[in-house]
Structure formats: C-alpha cells, structure tokens
Amino acid sequence: AQTVTQSQPEMSVQEAETVTLSCTYDTSENNYYLFWYKQPPSRQMILVIRQEAYKQQNATENRFSVNFQKAAKSFSLKISDSQLGDTAMYFCATSGSARQLTFGSGTQLTVLP
Amino acid sequence: EAGVAQSPRYKIIEKRQSVAFWCNPISGHATLYWYQQILGQGPKLLIQFQNNGVVDDSQLPKDRFSAERLKGVDSTLKIQPAKLEDSAVYLCASRSGGLVYEQYFGPGTRLTVT
C-alpha cells in the first residue's frame, strides 16, 4: 500500500517570489514514480513534473523543480518566479507497479499580486 | 493530439436517482481510470481498465456503482441509486500502457446529489 501526506493545506506567495510545497510518502515498492499535479478551478488535473525513484538527479521543468530525498521519503516542489497563473491546488502523487496513482490531500497555493 | 474527453461537465440529481458519466480517452491509450474526488480531498481510484477488461475494481462500491469499457475505447460510469455522499467530481484518466507511468486527465464531471 502507498500513502502520500501533504501537511500544508494552504500556502501563499508573492508574485515573482519562490515557494516550496512539501510532500512525504510511503511505499513498499522499489520501482515507483512521483508526480506533482496542478488542479486550477477548472478542475483539469495537469501534470507539472515527474521523478523516477531510481534517478538521483532532481527533476526540473522550467520554473518547477523538485527536491527528492529517497531515504527520507520526501518529495518537495519548488516554484520559482511565481506567477498569478500558478494559483491552484497542487497534489503530490505516487505510482508503483500497478500504475495506479495515490494522491495526497493537496495544498492550495495562492499567488498574490 | 486530443485530450481526454468527459461529459457532462455538471450534473445535479436527487438522491435515489441514477446518473451516468462518459469518458473518451486519448486515442491509442490502453489503460483507463475512473477517480472520485470529494471536495477538499485528493482523487481516489474507483476502477482501472486495461483495454476492455477490468484490472482493479476493489474500491468501487459495487452495490451502486458500475462501469464498463466497451470495445476498449469509451467508458461509462453509472451510479444507481445515488446517495448524498456521492457528491463529488468524477475524473477520468488514461495511460498509453506498458512501462509508461504518466496518466492524463479529463476535465471531470461535477456531480451534486440533493
């Protein structure tokens, strides 16, 4: 069984600043992936970034990067140069051999002008 | 490439009525998922299809929920009879299959049961 914990229900950041969203997970699998999804008010779940557990190098996608600490089972998301369009609910998720996503409870991020 | 399509976008029904949701996955995607997302929570898997066969329906409340994927393409999820606690967003996702892990989501259907 897999579990994902997001301990920050809400966060806010000033436009152009940097913010970090926290996520911890638990899994018994050796091969798994970790994801951050963004869900704006439109409800469309959008993939932001993914990390393969066997890769030590942290994934980056433009302004988005992760800090993956495998031993600590931690997977945080850093958003640099925050933009108003980044306002959304952010979900951390893991997927193992069954290719099923287990989601955390989400962090509502608000970018302030 | 067209994304995952879902309809309707919104549905309001009274308890004990029935409702059906439709999903059309990305062309060629072998695996299809239905998730239930209750307000303020993350999505929870209801059922997973591989082509037209069920891989996992262990979290589907089978006394009232049913799902099918005819011909391994479109899928429908039905609730009969609906309860107040079924109010949620129902998300459909698809995955190409094999070693690929990424799932791509549709816009969801918001169901309100009154």
CATH of the domain at A17: 2.60.40.10
Q: Is the peptide bond before B8 cis (omega within 30 degrees of 0)?
A: yes
| pLDDT at residue number B71 | 85
A103 touches chain B (CB under 8 A): yes
Q: Residue A92's closest chain B neighbor by CA?
A: B42
Count how many domains chain B has. Answer: 1
| pLDDT at residue number B63 | 95
Count how many domains chain A has. Answer: 1
B98 touches chain A (CB under 8 A): no
The answer to whether A82 and A88 have CB atoms below 8 angstroms apart is no
Expressed as residue numbers, the domain containing A70 is 3-112
| pLDDT at residue number B98 | 74
Closest CA to B103 of A91, A99, A25: A99
pLDDT tens-digit readout, B28-80: 999 999 999 999 899 999 999 998 899 999 999 999 999 999 888 999 999 99
Expressed as residue numbers, the domain containing B55 is 5-97+105-113
- The most distant pair of C-alpha atoms in chain A lies apart, rounded to whole Å, by 42
Cα–Cα dist A24/B50, whole Å: 29
Question: At residue A11, what is the residue type?
Answer: M
Confidence of residue B82 (pLDDT cuts 50, 70, 90): very high
Nearest to A100 among B48, B91, B102 (CB): B48
Nearest to B95 among A91, A93, A99 (CB): A99
| pLDDT at residue number A98 | 84
Cα–Cα dist A58/A53, whole Å: 10
Q: How far is CA A37 from the centre of its chain?
A: 6
A7 touches chain B (CB under 8 A): no
* Chain-chain contact of B56 with A98 (C-beta, under 8 angstroms): yes
* Chain-chain contact of A44 with B89 (C-beta, under 8 angstroms): no
| pLDDT at residue number A33 | 93
What is the domain-level CATH number for residue B65?
2.60.40.10
What percent of chain A is predicted at pLDDT more than 70?
100
Q: What is the mean pLDDT of residues A28-53?
A: 92
Shortest alpha-carbon distance between residue B26 and chain A (Å): 15
Give me the residues of A, 61-100, that contact B with CB < 8 A: 91, 93, 95, 98-100
Closest CA to A22 of A63, A61, A78: A78
Nearest to B101 among A33, A45, A103 (CB): A33
State yes or no: pLDDT of A66 exceeds 80. Answer: yes
Taking residue A65's Cβ as centre, other Cβ atoms within 10 Å add up to: 17
φ/ψ (deg, to 5) at A16: 80, -5
| pLDDT at residue number A57 | 92
Dig out the tokens for A77 from the structure: 């998301």
Closest CA to A38 of A99, A81, A93: A93
| pLDDT at residue number A42 | 85
B85 three-state secondary structure = helix
pLDDT tens-digit readout, A75-85: 999 999 999 99
| pLDDT at residue number B1 | 66
